Each structure stands twice: as C-alpha cells, then as structure tokens.
Amino acid sequence: MQAKTTTISTNPFSIGKGILAFPDVVKILGMPYRKVYAWMRRYFKGELGEAFKNTYVREKYGTRSVNFVTLIELHAMMHLADAGVRTQKVLEVREILSVLYGTPTPFAHKAVLEGMHTKGKEVFWKTKNDTITLSGKKPFQSDIIRSLVKKLDFNEDLLASKYYPLGKERHIVMDPQRKFGYPVIGKTNIYPETLYYLHKGGESHELIAHLYNVQFAAIDAAIEYCQNQ
C-alpha cells in the first residue's frame, strides 16, 4: 500500500478554526505529556512534518498550538498508536483517506471515524473498490472511537465542528467558533475554570449560579471537568 502525496488544500490557522496551545491539548486529550509532545513533534514538526508542509502546528513565542480538527485527529491517531500501529503506516493510510474523502484531515471526518472497523489486531475501512487495513501489535479498542464520535458534532462537510468532552448531555463544549476552541460552558463564553475556582474558593452554587446566570448542572459539569484535568 503506497501513500500518495495529496494536493488537497492544507489546514491553516485562521479565525473560526480554533487555536489550542500544547498544555491545553495535553489536558483535553487526557494523555501523558511526553506522549502527546512526541506525537505533535513527530507527526507535524519532525521527520514526518514535510508530508504536512508544517501547517498543522504553529509555534509562536515558544508555544506550540494546533487547531480544532488537528486536535480531533490527534485523538484518533494516538489511539491507533496505542494499539501498536506503526507511525509510518498510520501516515500512509491517512494520505489515502485524505484523497478518498477529499479532506486534509480525514481522522476528523465523520465517515472515516464511523467507518473504522476492528477485528483483533486489525483496523480497517471498507471502500467501494478495496479494503484499507492497519495492523497493530495488540487489539484495538474500538469503543474509544465510538465514544469519541458520540461526543462530536459535524458540519456540512462532515468534519468535526464541536466536541463535548463530558458528553453531549453535559454543559462543556469546545467550539472553534468561540474562544478559539477552548472549552466553555454551554452557549456562553464562560470558561469552566471560572466556575470551578469560585467553587474551590468556598462559594456556594447559589451564588455562582446568580453571578453567571447558569444552572447548577453547569457548575457541577465545570467542577467535574476541571477535577479530571
């Protein structure tokens, strides 16, 4: 299986696409710092960076950032790595899926995420003409990707557009159209940390709800989200 160099337009940083700094990426993914750092460096800035034309990680003032759909791609691809799939093989499949689905970020595409099938140590996608397969060193946890899909909204292009880290029934959402994609409370621009630190400082739910015009459930979600980071 040979990877083709895609000519699909890149995924630049711009208003509405989100800008998430590396420390925030680590917190949101809930994965070890070193692992996330290695992936960001290798996939987007290191020896594989040329394949992505270095457009997926922005470095400014010593801080690296990614945009929203790149964060979703990292989420999916790092779980492939956890199953022992070789980095180069993930890259090859990513390029094939990129051309097939007409997007520079296929692992943030609804059809790609929903179309991931597993059988033992294999992950595969069935297309009209072929089956695209990745082989790992241990069984792939397909429920992780199913859980990810349930926490996502998709736009008309079928790309991830919103992410609900605690699930859609809760009050925390990441929307690249607001606050550069950083988690906020529901339809507001209130950061979860704002409510959490008031709670941690001893303020009551009643006062916090009055000050910020939010429900108690939103305060509870903010507390849960921040305590899990």
Asked if residue 195 and residue 103 are part of one domain, the reply reads no
**pLDDT value at residue 202:** 96
Asked if residue 196 and residue 166 are part of one domain, the reply reads no
Domain total for the chain?
2
Residue 126 predicted with pLDDT over 60 = yes
Q: What is the mean pLDDT of residues 15-40?
A: 79
In a domain, 8, yes or no: no
Asked if residue 211 and residue 130 are part of one domain, the reply reads no
In a domain, 159, yes or no: yes
d(CA 215, CA 217): 5
**pLDDT value at residue 67:** 86
**pLDDT value at residue 61:** 58
Q: What is the domain extent for residue 195?
A: 183-227
How does pLDDT run across 61-85, given as a tens digit for each residue?
567 788 898 889 888 888 888 888 8
d(CA 150, CA 164): 9
Asked if residue 140 and residue 65 are part of one domain, the reply reads yes
**pLDDT value at residue 44:** 58
In a domain, 120, yes or no: yes
In a domain, 7, yes or no: no
The angle subtended at Cα 35 by Cα 91 and Cα 174, nearest 5°, is 80
Asked if residue 29 and residue 126 are part of one domain, the reply reads yes
**pLDDT value at residue 8:** 39
Asked if residue 108 and residue 155 are part of one domain, the reply reads yes
Asked if residue 166 and residue 85 are part of one domain, the reply reads yes
In a domain, 195, yes or no: yes
Asked if residue 219 and residue 130 are part of one domain, the reply reads no
**pLDDT value at residue 4:** 42
In a domain, 15, yes or no: no
Asked if residue 187 and residue 163 are part of one domain, the reply reads no
Asked if residue 141 and residue 58 are part of one domain, the reply reads yes
In a domain, 3, yes or no: no
**pLDDT value at residue 5:** 40
Residue 7 predicted with pLDDT over 60 = no
Asked if residue 200 and residue 121 are part of one domain, the reply reads no
In a domain, 1, yes or no: no
Q: Which of 144, 160, 180 is the last residue of a domain?
A: 180
Asked if residue 79 and residue 136 are part of one domain, the reply reads yes
What is each CA distance from 74 to 114, 168, 198, in whole angstroms? 16, 20, 32
**pLDDT value at residue 186:** 93
